Amino acid sequence: MEVTKVIKDAIGDKKFSILIDEARDCSIKEQMAVIVRFVDDHGLLQERFLMIKHITDCTSAGIKEAFLAVLDYHDLPICRLRGQGYDGASNMRGEFNGLQKL
């Protein structure tokens, strides 16, 4: 919680982007890793690991709900989100139904 607070304080009210990847861990549970990128007060690009979240629904809609829950939990408004990065899985980047489209 302390580390996350430092990251949130560094982001402040700046615009940010999110990188998301989901994978199965060794216990065969689906996990979603969330990384946040932003430009700091010195004009340098910062990339920080925000959290790993367990997801039960691996569809694009389920991952979207988990993603929005992460933003809400960390009090990061979606209106300041300026970029999104995903892996190549169809539930992430699908042209019609992927998380990126949602």
Residue 98 belongs to a domain: no
CA–CA separation, 70 vs 63, rounded Å?
10
pLDDT along the chain (102 residues), means of 10: 91 93 73 92 94 82 87 93 76 54 59
- Residue 58: predicted pLDDT: 74
CA torsion 16→23→68→40, rounded to 10°? -10
**Count of domains for the chain:** 1
The residue whose two tokens read 């199965």 is: 24
Model pTM score: 0.76
R_g of the chain computed on alpha carbons: 14
Domain assignment of residue 65, given as a range = 2-93
Residue 101 belongs to a domain: no
Residue 86 belongs to a domain: yes
Tokens of 80: 């300041």
- Residue 89: predicted pLDDT: 58
